[in-house]
Amino acid sequence: MSDSDPFDEIIAEETTRDPDLAVIEAGSRTLRTQGGAPSADVPARPEDPEVDKALRAVEADLATRWGETKLEPSVSRIAALMDVLGEPQRSYPSIHITGTNGKTSTARMIEALLGAFELRTGRYTSPHVQSITERISLDGAPISAERFIETYDDIKPYVEMVDASQEYRLSFFEVLTGMAYAAFADAPVDAAVVEVGMGGSWDATNVIDADVAVVTPIDLDHTDRLGETPAAIASEKSGIIKQDATVILAQQPVDAAQVLLKKAVDVDATVAREGLEFGVVARQVAVGGQLLTLRGLGGEYGEVFLPLHGPYQAHNAAVALAAVEAFFGVGSQRPEPLDMDTVRKAFASVSSPGRLEVVRRSPTVVLDAAHNPAGARATAEAVGEAFDFSRLIGVVGASGDKNVRGLLEAFEPIFTEVVVTQNSTHRAMDADELAAIAVEVFGEERVQVEPRLPDALEAAITLAEEEGEFAGGGVLVTGSVITVGEARLLLGRG
């Protein structure tokens, strides 16, 4: 490798990822100029009134269970459900993904790659953007509302059987996990791509023995449940690394990497590390995304177009490529790389709603689901690279259990002004409380308070338009996955 080779410089950069995207089911109100057509992988409500009614009944039934923020760290209930269902999760090979940020984007890329190589895929991710059906995908698309209802009805008697035998009923997430594994077995799929809900060892998804375990970068989030240091969080997340598996490690904090590598040694797993066995060789900004050269386990893949913005998405792509190579045995059973044209085709098809997603123009409104400091830093860097805003207005609504000051500090250099608000959930930080922190970070003259999200969006659009129609004003909505989801609906994306 020559001294001018950019590989070492690129892989030495800190790698951060955006967090997962969620949305609350809500009515939409179009603000001024309606956004574009909804993404194909973000379905609306069923058009058939009877199907919609049946889906709402399932959603209401699921809502009676523990939500995703209430946890009892155990896999005993989901294991019992798998047992009475006949262990459907063992009928197909799988790729299991954990980490702090970037899991869903990485899962989507892995799914696209497997599908391009003519494998029938099942993908389980969380939370959802618009419809609960998005969490379970077959062949790259969310399952239909009809199939979602049928799957729920099929497993419901077994769910009730387990409920009766356990100290606590199965949770909302546990039931959905059971539905996903059953739907994949029924399809049947050739490979499942499974994202953990939270953590690893005691996550409901961890009743699979994945051939490939992927760990995206670990940072501080959910510290009340997972631990207060990267090493403690890594210890919990390392639970997805199983005997004789292949582990794909994105760049990690040193203490987290030590924990993950020790677990891999303990279970005789093979490890591939970003920056050593694989990585991003080169990247350049392109219209609508970026052009990459990736180093995989089997060689170099050049001229890969990825229609997503930001350095972190390039790193996600490198992780996804290595995971799929490992799944096919590249670098171990077979020395040759994957077919170049197929890899290019797969990456060119990737989408990731809510990750620097442009939902309207004039002025440009961008949605990004960053909700922790690491994700916010990555987003701020990507915005500066992908957009040429002369004036950027932030709309921030955060959850009360997050590091809000760190999030605001990450965005301070790129926001001309910030409109603080709150979403409609009980977890939302009060707008006035958020404003008090924002004033300390931005100064009083740069902060505006609008407790209602529709009003906050209107105010931000007005501020962005102050320089005129043809100026470079823009709006970035961020701070909470729920805030981004609600804004997406308000702006006509669904």
What is the three-state SS of the chain? CCCCCCHHHHHHCCCCCCCCCCCCCCCCCCCCCCCCCCCCCCCCCCCCHHHHHHHHHHHHHHHCCCCCCCCCCCCHHHHHHHHHHCCHHHCCCEEEEECCCCHHHHHHHHHHHHHHCCCCEEEECCCCCCCHHHHEEECCEECCHHHHHHHHHHHHHHHHHHHHHCCCCCCHHHHHHHHHHHHHHHCCCCEEEEECCCCCCCCCCCCCCCCEEEECCCCCCCHHHHCCCHHHHHHHHHHHCCCCCEEEECCCCHHHHHHHHHHHHHCCCEEEEECCCEEEEEEEEECCEEEEEEEECCEEEEEEEECCCCHHHHHHHHHHHHHHHHHCCECCCECCCCCHHHHHHHHHCCCCCCCCEEEECCCEEEECCCCCHHHHHHHHHHHHHHCCCCEEEEEECCECCCCHHHHHHHHCCCCCEEEEEECCCCCECCHHHHHHHHHHHHCHHHEEEEEEHHHHHHHHHHHHHHHCCCCCEEEEEECCHHHHHHHHHHCCCC
pLDDT at 5: 45
pLDDT at 225: 54
Per-residue pLDDT band at 45 (split at 50, 70, 90): confident
pLDDT at 492: 78
pLDDT digits (tens, 9 = 90+) for 202-213: 999 999 999 999
Average pLDDT, the chain: 88
pLDDT digits (tens, 9 = 90+) for 419-438: 999 998 888 999 999 999 99
Q: Which whole number is the average pLDDT over 229-245? A: 93
Instruction: Say whether pLDDT at 42 is over 80.
Output: no
Least confident of 83-87, 100-104, 403-407, 440-444: 100-104
Instruction: Say whether pLDDT at 278 is over 80.
Output: yes
